[in-house]
Structure 1
């Protein structure tokens, strides 16, 4: 049986933990899922929890290198297992997410966990340490402000994008934004649970904040306004190229297999060097094909559906 492209990625990544504004830190690891940290007057906020308690401990060790203050808040930019299943390690007072993200846990949390463990074995090392699904304990609709001492952190749902419930964390006083997987930098956007028609408008709303620094979902921290513009622009270009290609294929009456081949031929020269390109594209094209065919909401990915889709598309491509 063919394996997902990501299962061959077994090399540990170099972790970078850097202060990008006063008491604001970016935790990145060569294309693995990023996290962010804000050290306040009386506690710490962590943005995105990592895949398991073992993975979370690496971030906790970095935090303990700069402060001994308690970790008060874990904020989930959205619900994908690779970002949230480490939440139990922090002992936080609250786990915060949008109400739409909470709804995603109810609707597809267990299926998402089961499928992602199969996709990313390295990140889910010692998965047995995960005590169960991560449930937000505080939710909000559009906007919530947290005060880390005198510093305001705004949690904002700017529209549907990578999932229906994605939020960003915006720090107005230093113009830093934790964007989650709404933005990637040098890494392939995963659109398997996305709303491709809405995502560009959501990026417009993001840019309207005026961020001068940004932590994307994957890739290096963006440390200037020009780098932020490049990161958002690169994400936008990928989404446009993907969706416009797939929409044309659907309009021409092509089936999913033919659409996948044509989309890969068009996308690989420009984006093929991006992290997890080969892993994401079968999921991306499948979701784009469904949305272009009139299916508004993403179909739930299960471990069985993952394998069936991957085998069908990859077998057809290898036989071509």
Structure 2
């Protein structure tokens, strides 16, 4: 048991400067060591963003790096899903005509957007520099059910909901002409997989649908860009392995009559040898075990996290 672990990411104070990575002609990732990744695509007339940064202050750094590449107007923001660390920088992009998300993500904002914001500010203090500038929730202005395409000249940016996973509204952005996939947090690259708001038993099937696209370049939610078909397939399988190990260990605990804390101890013991050195593993595991424990006992939809519930869980499992 690691009772000395500080709450969530409160002790994470090391600044990460995201780096621009050209993934294909006019396609860029904005990649951190293990903070949430973003990206953008430059078209003939305008730019499409894939996610933003956690605050307007941090998003202005992103904008400055975009302007080092192009002066074309930023017309659309695509949200891969809704967590505050990905979306609250949207107000820094004042040329944007539409914020696009799945219907599942729009429903998420309406149901739990404010609670999620309050929760994440407490979990990730470093990532919310300038939080006082945030004007309010980032609400999508255009939504779609399963799939839609944006066309940047001849290039298609295909937005797809491939199934429930990290959230109930996950969207991947797929560029068929160059094999680039922005996966959001459906896929991580050797970083702790957050499943506190997930549909964990559905997630493996969603990952199979991602794998079926056969991406050549994958921008994961967190971690380094993956290049090459084999590397992309491996990142997808590693994400699946993390989740299957989580489910198996919590299911074994429930079958043995363990409490939530007992299931957590069992999961930590099972997962630490393989995944324990991944960034944010210590942060995500309590929330992951809590959600797996609920889901395996028949609670279909994730219970809304609040700042108070976060602290109570941490005290129960790590206190």
Matches within 5 A, 1:76-95: 76-91=79-94, 92-95=96-99
Matches within 5 A, 1:106-125: 106-125=110-129
1:251 and 2:255 equivalent?
yes
1:32 and 2:44 equivalent?
no
Aligned 8 A contact 2:192 2:275 in 1: yes
Give 1:273's aligned residue.
Answer: 277
Give the root-mean-square deviation of aligned CA atoms: 1.1
Match of 2:65 among 41, 62, 66: 62
Give 2:243's aligned residue.
Answer: 239
Matches within 5 A, 1:161-180: 161-180=165-184
Question: 2:225 & 2:283 partners in 1: Cα distance?
Answer: 22
Question: 2:202 & 2:58 partners in 1: Cα distance?
Answer: 32
Question: 1:235 & 1:202 partners in 2: Cα distance?
Answer: 11
3-state SS of 1:177 partner: strand
Q: Identify which range, 208-217 or 1-10, moves more after superposition.
A: 1-10
TM-score, normalised by the number of residues in structure 2: 0.97
3-state SS of 2:66 partner: helix
1:43 and 2:46 equivalent?
yes
1:5 deviates by 3.5
1:3 deviates by 4.3
Question: 1:268 & 1:3 partners in 2: Cα distance?
Answer: 17
3-state SS of 2:29 partner: strand
TM-score, normalised by the number of residues in structure 1: 0.97
Structure 2: runs of 5 or more not aligned = none
1:90 deviates by 1.1
Aligned 8 A contact 1:52 1:129 in 2: yes
Question: 1:3 & 1:128 partners in 2: Cα distance?
Answer: 24
| Superposed CA offset, 1:247-303 (max 9, x none) | 111122111011101110111111011010100000000000100111111000001
3-state SS of 1:197 partner: helix
Q: Identify which range, 4-13 or 103-112, moves more after superposition.
A: 4-13
| Superposed CA offset, 1:211-267 (max 9, x none) | 111100000011111110111011010000001111111122111011101110111
Question: 1:273 & 1:28 partners in 2: Cα distance?
Answer: 20
3-state SS of 1:190 partner: coil
Ranges of 4+ aligned residues in structure 1 off by more than 4 Å: none
